[in-house]
Structure 1
Amino acid sequence: MKYIALLRGINVGGKNRVPMKELQKCFLDAGYTGIQTYINSGNVLFEAEKESDEKTLQEDCQTIIQASFGFPVAVAVISVQNLSQALRQVPEWWGKDPQEKHNALFTIFPATAKEVIAEIGELHSEAEKVYCSEGTIFWSTSIQYYNKTKFSKIVGTKPYQKVTIRNANTTKKLVLLGTQ
């Protein structure tokens, strides 16, 4: 089965440097196959021979990354199948309008999407739209309202530590790569 590991907080501002070739090698050395990375922000597509739950894979990925690079990295893991299903169910407004920002916030176990949304608090109803899938929060806002939104202010907060964020283009590309 194919999965996507989404690493949080690597290669940002010269900190937690993780070269993609070395990341591929550590997944290969751990026994995973079909390994492919996408852009430098820590997106790894991989196959596990036996079907595993995403929580177990997340723990394994975090362990092999820390062993390989010497520092902890939080990882969200989602199957290509589950992300593809979530994208089929996401409302029409997500990921379409170029005058809006569209992000997917992937929760890092044990956090849940509902818990993260509750911690963020009441949304700015005129400025932002949110759709919640099992482990993913799909969020959009117009660029003009961006600074008024709750989601634009989560950096450095407790809920921010529980997610890793990808824009709509990256999210859709990961599913595309995983289904080829």
Structure 2
Amino acid sequence: MATTYAALLRGINVSGHRKVPMAELRSVLEELGHRDVRTYLQSGNAAFTTDSDASEAALTTELEDAIESRFGFRVDCLVRDGAYLAAVAAACPFPAAELEGKQLHAVYYSGPADPERFASIDRDAYLPEDFALGDRVLYLYAPDGLGRSRLAEVVGRPAVVKGLVATARNWNTVRKLIEMTHED
């Protein structure tokens, strides 16, 4: 049975570094045997359909290996199916419909976002910014945007996310990825 996934690449095409042109990313995914490949923006968002019964972790490793082979550097990736992305959006504790896309972010993780990792953060010190944890995701409310968020810096510290791949998407991109991976 075919499944549609989103591939989320971390830290590419930033300030001219680690360039992965989206046309070439589409080619890489097609060469891996995936179909209906499409990309969104230049920041490493792709959707694809596959008949493979491989796990998300196996699809992730396959994509990371293929990118390294093509471009000569390794890129951390996360692969998530459309049902997961929709469930993450549905579980959002913040009023997504009332906020601008730049105010709400989903930080996707490669593994569980254990509450213990975040226990030492004095959330009151960062108000009105706030965060909540979900299934391999952190929801970040940053009313002035991610670039001005002090809380984003704290929840993204290496000591907090140690051992996890983490990549953030604003809520506009979250919605677009759900649309791109929606299966009828």
TM-score normalised by the shorter chain: which range applies?
0.7 to 0.9
Q: Structure 1 residue runs of 4+, over 3 Å off?
A: 146-149, 152-158
Contact residue 130 and residue 151 of structure 2 kept, 8 A: no
Contact residue 102 and residue 170 of structure 2 kept, 8 A: no
Say if 1:148 and 1:56 are closer, same or farther in 2 by CA, change over 3 A: closer
Q: Which letter maps to 1:169?
A: N
- Report the more deviating stretch, 147-156 or 82-91: 147-156
TM-score w.r.t. the length of structure 1 is 0.84
- Structure 2, unmatched stretches of 5+, are none
The residue that corresponds to 1:70 in the other structure is 72
- Report the more deviating stretch, 66-75 or 85-94: 85-94
Say if 1:99 and 1:8 are closer, same or farther in 2 by CA, change over 3 A: closer
The residue that corresponds to 1:165 in the other structure is 168
The residue that corresponds to 1:118 in the other structure is 117
> How far is 1:48 from its partner?
1.7
> How far is 1:91 from its partner?
1.9
1:52-89 residue CA offsets vs partner (Å, 9 max, x unmatched): 32111111111111111110000011111111112112
- Structure 1, unmatched stretches of 5+, are none
The residue that corresponds to 2:144 in the other structure is 143
1:176 paired with 2:175, answer no
1:3-37 residue CA offsets vs partner (Å, 9 max, x unmatched): 11100010001000011001100110111111111
The residue that corresponds to 2:17 in the other structure is 15
TM-score w.r.t. the length of structure 2 is 0.83
The residue that corresponds to 1:132 in the other structure is 133
1:124-156 residue CA offsets vs partner (Å, 9 max, x unmatched): 233333232212211103329x85743234566
- Kindly tell me the number of residue pairs found equivalent between the two proteins: 176
SS in 2 for 1:113: coil
SS in 1 for 2:47: strand
